[in-house]
Amino acid sequence: MAGQVGPNTAEGAPPGDLGRRLTARRQELGLTREETAERVGIAPGYLRYLEENSAAAPGRGALRRLAGVLHTTVSHLTGGDTEAPSGRARAGHHPRFAELNPSECRALLGSHGVGRLGVDTASGPVVVPVNYSVVDGAIVFRTADDTAPSMAPGRQVAFEVDRIDDAFSEGWSVLVRGPARRVSEAAEVRRLAASVHSTPWAGGERDLWVCIEPRSVTGRRITV
């Protein structure tokens, strides 16, 4: 029956999740569909079916081969680790720790996404995730009044972005420190609204724009 999980398939994966994860990981590694299919030992048409058909349910053997070629795990491809934090895998053999130069830090920050804002509050420091963009070198995000991120304006804050790849045992982090300010001028608000790459995942009315001016930008990378 179409969409039914067979005896050799991973259970618990929402329909379509496998295809999205396959495509994202393949593109992350810079592989074409044809290159990936050849390495896995399947037809490109079948890989296309897996990526585009929400009812696709490959067997465990095919999933293992796909995970091996894409340097990831079956659990990740099928969404089994969605609730698990990154970094649970073992460290790689002979890892190397290196400082990132300013241009590398800016390039990684410019990819935008979700970062962690650290700010002092009356009850102590807090760290919260926010969707952000980089506009003219500054960190920009939207929030609502009476939230933890809304306490950032007028304070020195820290903002951190990172990426952990459990399959490769590699990762990087970039730390920004500087003053945060509330953006209230209508013209600047319109300019930011036209320049940002994403909207807050939290949804709702989030009309408070906050801008962090980087005074210190540092980064680190772990490779194997």
At the top level of CATH, the class of 17-77 is mainly alpha
CA-based max dimension of the chain: 60
Q: How far apart are CA 164 and CA 133, in angstroms?
A: 20
The sign one gets for the Cα dihedral 132, 136, 138, 143 is negative
For residue 48, pLDDT beyond 50: yes
In whole angstroms, give the CA distance from residue 120 to residue 126.
Answer: 6
pTM: 0.66
What pLDDT score does 39 carry? 94
> pLDDT tens digit string along 150-182?
999 999 999 999 988 766 678 899 999 999 999
**Local confidence band at 6 (pLDDT 50, 70, 90 cut-offs):** very low
Span 191-209, pLDDT tens digits: 888 888 777 777 777 889 9
Residues 6+ apart with CB under 8 A from 1: none
More confident residue, 76 or 187: 187
- Average pLDDT along the chain: 84
Residues 6+ apart with CB under 8 A from 152: 117, 119, 180, 210, 212
The CATH number of 96-223, from 2.30.110.10, 3.40.50.720, 1.20.1530.20, 3.40.50.10070, is 2.30.110.10
Provide the token pair at 51: 């990526």
**Domain edges within the chain:** 17-77, 96-223
**CA count, 13 A, side-chain hemisphere, 25:** 25
Q: Between 177 and 21, whose confidence is greater?
A: 177
